[in-house]
Amino acid sequence: MPSNRVVVIGAGPTGLEAARLAAELGSPVTLIEKKDVPGGMPIHADYAALTHHFRDASEAMAEMIDAVTSNDLIDIRTGTEVTAVDGEAGAFTVGLAANGSSESVDAGAIILATGFQHFDPGRETQQYQYYELPDVVTIADAEKMIKSGSFVTPSTGKTPERVAFIQCVGSRDRQIGNEYCSKVCCGISSKQAIEIRQMVPDARVFIFYIDMRMYGYWENEIYWPAQEEHKVNYIKGIITEILPKGGRLVVRGEDTTMGRPMEVEMDVVILAVGMEPSEGTTAMSGILNLPTNKYGFVETAHDILDTVTTTVPGIFAAGAAVGPADLDDSIASAGAAAAKAVSLIRSAGVPV
């Protein structure tokens, strides 16, 4: 049946913003989130502060969630999954399942915002021994530690003296097939390096990188202050292995500026893992018949000039479901998807 409703799948930053804007444009919205709480990765993975203003992640997400829960046009369903989608643009039927019961809602348009997951560093980058060495952690683990207010060496609970970041773990890696840059990890690592220097002022912090990729204001607000004010050491180099030695970690590789082998001792090593499509993005692209690219991210129809329209009429995709994205990207594409979804409903003649 023709409907003026927009169904948004995924209530992370992208889905929350898409829902908020579609409702602001006059459409009723059903926002589906499979977890019990909305907020996406910044909430589910306990992010501490967000780039580039170091705003508290819980506070920022609470603001986005409030804007949705306080809007009468938005029906938010947590703990709910989409089981089937039938129909066509303007008149979809979306099957939902929650707590053992099922129902369906009509929708004129659908926005997919099912996001990403962190690269699993134990999967293929075994030389870093993520699952074997407790003091090898990821940037996602480090966010949790920083949020807890205490940054310690996990195996001893003691204050670390030397902390290293290794960039591009699971990204820009032809061997594992993830040739793309995950966009956010250089900025996140530099942000965390600043936070660690503030929490543990005596610790020396090193970032081993292939090349640092900072976008827009992240360069002047994070990268330069990290070096100039917070004395973070950036070393251009490739790390090939991490080994335990006398209660510490030996980090081995090559200093590519000096062109010589390098071996340094650290207390904590943080792997800057990249972004991969979430399980939900993979599952939903199957249910919605959306083509994905070779990495599993949803393909949009018109690439650079239209980053949200998919090849299935009436279905739009935004945020990290479409490819590595920071919050700026996610919010911008959410707005574009919401505007296109409501405009499609209007052009089908359904009053909004």
Ligand X SMILES: Cc1cc2nc3c(=O)[nH]c(=O)nc-3n(C[C@H](O)[C@H](O)[C@H](O)COP(=O)(O)OP(=O)(O)OC[C@H]3O[C@@H](n4cnc5c(N)ncnc54)[C@H](O)[C@@H]3O)c2cc1C
Positions that interact with ligand X (CB under 6 A) = 9-15, 32-35, 40-42, 47, 50-51, 81-82, 113-116, 118, 139-140, 143, 184, 188, 278, 280, 283-284, 319-321, 325-327, 330
Residue 15 near which of ligand SF4, ligand X, none (CB within 5-8 Å, type-dependent) = ligand X
Q: How far is the CB of 124 from ligand SF4 (least distance, A)?
A: 15
Q: How far is the CB of 216 from ligand X (least distance, A)?
A: 10
Q: How far apart are CA 114 and CA 271, in angstroms?
A: 24
Number of chain residues interacting with ligand SF4 (CB under 6 A): 12
One-letter-per-residue 3-state SS of the chain = CCCCCEEEECCCHHHHHHHHHHHHCCCCEEEECCCCCCCCHHHHCCCCEECCCCEEHHHHHHHHHHHHHCCCCEEEECCEEEEEEEEECCEEEEEEEECCEEEEEEECEEEECCCEEECCCCCCCHHHCCCCCCCEEEHHHHHHHHHHCCCCCCCCCCCCCEEEEEEEECCCECCCCECCCCCCHHHHHHHHHHHHHHHCCCCEEEEEECCCCCCCCHHHHHHHHHHHCCCCEEEEEEEEEEEEECCEEEEEEEECCCCEEEEEEECEEEEEECEEECHHHHHHHHHCCCCECCCCCECCCCHHHCCCECCCCCEEECHHHCCCCCHHHHHHHHHHHHHHHHHHHHHCCCCC
Residue 153 near which of ligand X, ligand SF4, none (CB within 5-8 Å, type-dependent) = none
Q: How far is the CB of 187 from ligand SF4 (least distance, A)?
A: 7
Tell me: does residue 20 bind ligand SF4 (CB under 6 A): no
Tell me: does residue 171 bind ligand SF4 (CB under 6 A): yes
Tell me: does residue 182 bind ligand SF4 (CB under 6 A): yes
Q: How far apart are CA 338 and CA 34, in angstroms?
A: 20
Select from 181, 203, 336, 348 the one that contacts ligand SF4 (CB under 6 A).
181
Residue 285 near which of ligand SF4, ligand X, none (CB within 5-8 Å, type-dependent) = none
Residue 213 near which of ligand SF4, ligand X, none (CB within 5-8 Å, type-dependent) = ligand SF4
Select from 44, 144, 147, 172 the one that contacts ligand SF4 (CB under 6 A).
172
Tell me: does residue 226 bind ligand SF4 (CB under 6 A): no
Looking up tokens 């773990």 gives 169
Q: How far is the CB of 131 from ligand SF4 (least distance, A)?
A: 21
Select from 77, 118, 213, 248 the one that contacts ligand SF4 (CB under 6 A).
213
Residue 322 near which of ligand SF4, ligand X, none (CB within 5-8 Å, type-dependent) = none
Footprint (CB under 6 A) of ligand SF4, residues 139-168: 167-168
Residue 186 near which of ligand X, ligand SF4, none (CB within 5-8 Å, type-dependent) = ligand SF4
Footprint (CB under 6 A) of ligand SF4, residues 263-282: 272, 274
Tell me: does residue 185 bind ligand SF4 (CB under 6 A): yes
Residue nearest to ligand X (CB): 280
- Would you say 313 and 323 are in contact if contact means Cβ atoms under 8 Å apart? no
- Would you say 113 and 284 are in contact if contact means Cβ atoms under 8 Å apart? no
Q: How far is the CB of 211 from ligand SF4 (least distance, A)?
A: 6
Q: How far apart are CA 12 and CA 242, in angstroms?
A: 34
Residues near ligand SF4 (CB under 6 A): 167-168, 171-172, 181-183, 185-186, 213, 272, 274
